Amino acid sequence: MTISPVHVIGAGLAGCEAVTQLTRHGIPVILYEMRPVKSDEAHKTAYFAELVCSNSLRAANIENAVGLLKEEMRRLGSLIMQKADEHQVPAGGALAVDRDGFAAAVTEAVKANPLVTVIHEEVTDLESLEGTVIVASGPLTSDALFADIKKLLQADYLHFFDAAAPIVTADSLDYDKVYRASRYDKGGADYLNCPFYTKEEYVAFWEALCNAESAPVKDFEHDVFEACMPIEEMAARGEDTMRFGPLKPVGLIDPRNGKEAYAVVQLRQDNAAASLYNLVGFQTHLKWPEQRRVFGMIPGLENAEFVRFGVMHKNTYLNSPQLLDKHFNLRNNKRFYFAGQMTGVEGYVESAASGLMAGLAAARAVLELPEVELPEVTAHGALANYISNPAIENFQPMNINFGLIPPLTVRIRKKREKNAQIAARALEALDGFLPALKTEQA
């Protein structure tokens, strides 16, 4: 059987996962990535799978839904998880990675794959590509491809803002004020913490943030997705909103004095050398001089060196429940699949998982194998159900959460215990699913 190559558009997290699944089945791939020939508003390197916002892949334990999703990905042979585990940096109970080391490793693995041909050019005509196509061009899809996808779908897009947090150098911080700890001592003392010990100093910071000047938002609708809320937008919602969000002090005891502050800004390690830290939850589109001025009011950051300021960029996503099935396959044109954040799965891990599912489904279609659906009690199955449910009228991007997974048949009051049992059920179902899948792989 002669196998024609599958075209994958975009070498982000989703695209690289799709490539991995396809080539694991012996299917050749032509991977299109326009960078570095043409770049976008947010990417800074030519690496595949570049993380443009945070370097965190969020919670590591399986009692958290994204931790469960990551463990499922490992069992499904995820390239992204393999390289993330190899390039992990300390982050308490989270999985965070050395940003450049991780992306470089993914890039090397994909380019070294003998079944992959990489073409660095912008795709602007999907219909001209023969055979199966997986569109994983991401939320920063170029204008020309955006227009072509819209023509293919004959439907409107939805879109929202996303924002990246600033990064500072570790040696520019004031360690007389900054202390090291993780919330509730989970994982280790992996975060640097900048405490506002008095209400007065916190309120002064809050007022400055509310009155700071934002950069003009060009050509984007004024619509903010909750999970990537710019810090200034959060501050505008009320004096205490940040204290119940990224600046909550609960569980962060200063080991030097045993005190809990009024509010705390956390810094998370951003590279393996621990020379760079990002401001957790500080996605922003303030003007760069304003970021230096206002964020310099954070205790310990008075003389901080910013190696990257926060930036705002556009995210674009499909009305997937009306367009895609559980296999991330276009309902009205079966040779096209979509993957990544543009399908309405929100977050790095969810984007990669969607690429894994789209690649697996496309591989089975190319090899004329029966369709398979990941068990609905798994995190993967829950995501697939969410993006394909036509009953959803007001579709919004969604992180994986236990609310998307079918509940247990018995009621358990303790949340952690309940989540642990949901996770155990999911992994048992996935393990039962894997043998049949593997026997049919090339």
Structure tokens at 123: 């795709």
Taking CA 77 as the corner, what is the angle to CA 73 and CA 81, rounded to the nearest 5 degrees? 55
Q: 147 — phi, psi (to 5°)?
A: -65, -40
Annotated binding residue at 13?
yes
Cα separation of 139 and 303, whole Å? Answer: 34
Answer for the pair 53, 29: CB distance below 8 angstroms, yes or no. no
Annotated binding residue at 391?
no
Cα separation of 23 and 41, whole Å? Answer: 31
Annotated binding residue at 67?
no
Q: Could you tell me which residues are beta bridge partners of residue 133?
A: 7, 336
Answer for the pair 167, 306: CB distance below 8 angstroms, yes or no. yes
Structure tokens at 147: 């227009």
Give burial (CB, 10 Å; 0-12/13-18/19+) of 45. Answer: middle
Annotated binding residue at 14?
yes
As a whole number of Å, the CA-based R_g of the chain is 22
Q: Strand runs (DSSP E) across 284-418, as ranges?
A: 306-308, 311-317, 336-338
Residues making up the annotated binding site are: 10-15
Residues making up the annotated binding site for FAD are: 10-15
